[in-house]
Structure 1
Amino acid sequence: MITSARRRAALCALGALTTVLAGCSSGDPATPGRPGRPAASAPPTLAPGPAGLTPVFAHGSRTEGRTVALTFDADMTANQGARAAAGERFDHPELVATLRRLKVPATFFMTGRWAEEYPDQAKAIGRDPLFEVANHSYSHHAFTRDCYGLPTVPPERMRADVDRAFDALRKAGVERPMPYFRFPGGCYDERSLRTLAPGGVTAVQWDVVSGDAFATDADAVARQVLDGVRPGSVVVMHCTRSAAPTTERALRTIIPKLRERGFRFVKVSEQIGSKRASGARS
Structure 2
Amino acid sequence: MVITLVRRVTAACLLGAALSACAATPHQAPRVTRPAPSTASAPSTASAPSTTSAPPTLAPGPGGLTPVFKHGSRARGRTVALTFDADMTAGQGARAAAGEHFDNPGLIAALRALKVPATVFMTGRWAEEYPDQARSLGRDPLFEIANHSYSHYAFTDDCYGLPTVSGDRMRADVERAYAAFRKAGVPDARPYFRFPGGCYDRRALKALTPVGVTAVQWDVVSGDAFATDAQAVSRQVLEGVRPGSVVVMHCTRSAAPTTERVVRTVVPELRARGFRFVKVSALIGS
Q: TM-score range by the shorter chain?
A: 0.7 to 0.9
What is the aligned-residue identity percentage?
79
How many Å apart are 1:162 and its aligned residue? Answer: 0.3
How many Å apart are 1:198 and its aligned residue? Answer: 1.1
Alignment partner of 1:145 is 2:164: no
Partner of 1:109: 121
Partner of 1:172: 184
After superposition, the CA RMSD in angstroms is 1.0
Alignment partner of 1:80 is 2:92: yes
Q: TM-score, length-normalised on structure 1?
A: 0.83
Partner of 1:34: none
- Per-residue CA distance 1:219-240 (angstroms, 9 max, x = gap): 0110000000000000000000
- Any stretches of 5+ residues in structure 1 without a counterpart? 1-36, 275-282
Partner of 2:67: 55
State the alpha-carbon separation in 2 of the partners of residues 240 and 46 from structure 1.
29
> 2:82·2:246 contact (CA, 8 Å) conserved in 1?
yes
How many Å apart are 1:139 and its aligned residue? Answer: 1.0
- Which of 162, 175, 180 aligns to 1:163? It is 175
- Which of 261, 270, 273 aligns to 1:258? It is 270
Partner of 2:242: 230
- Per-residue CA distance 1:103-137 (angstroms, 9 max, x = gap): 00000000000000000000000000000000000
How many Å apart are 1:39 and its aligned residue? Answer: 4.3
- Any stretches of 5+ residues in structure 2 without a counterpart? 1-48
In the TM superposition, 1:1-282 aligns within 5 A as 39-274=51-286
State the alpha-carbon separation in 2 of the partners of residues 170 and 59 from structure 1.
28
State the alpha-carbon separation in 2 of the partners of residues 250 and 195 from structure 1.
36
User: Highest CA radius of gyration, 1 or 2?
Assistant: 1
Pick 1 or 2: higher relative contact order, CA cutoff 8 A, min separation 6. 2
State the alpha-carbon separation in 2 of the partners of residues 198 and 82 from structure 1.
34
Partner of 1:24: none
- Per-residue CA distance 1:167-216 (angstroms, 9 max, x = gap): 00111011110000000000000010011011110000000000000000
State the alpha-carbon separation in 2 of the partners of residues 49 and 252 from structure 1.
37
Task: Give the count of matched residue pairs.
Answer: 238
State the alpha-carbon separation in 2 of the partners of residues 51 and 41 from structure 1.
26
Is the partner of 1:133 in helix, strand or coil?
A: strand
Is the partner of 2:109 in helix, strand or coil?
A: helix
Q: TM-score, length-normalised on structure 2?
A: 0.82
How many Å apart are 1:40 and its aligned residue? Answer: 3.6
> 2:125·2:180 contact (CA, 8 Å) conserved in 1?
yes
> 2:222·2:247 contact (CA, 8 Å) conserved in 1?
yes
Structure (1/2) with the larger helix percentage = 1
State the alpha-carbon separation in 2 of the partners of residues 139 and 93 from structure 1.
22
State the alpha-carbon separation in 2 of the partners of residues 170 and 225 from structure 1.
33
Is the partner of 1:157 in helix, strand or coil?
A: helix
State the alpha-carbon separation in 1 of the partners of residues 174 and 52 from structure 2.
23
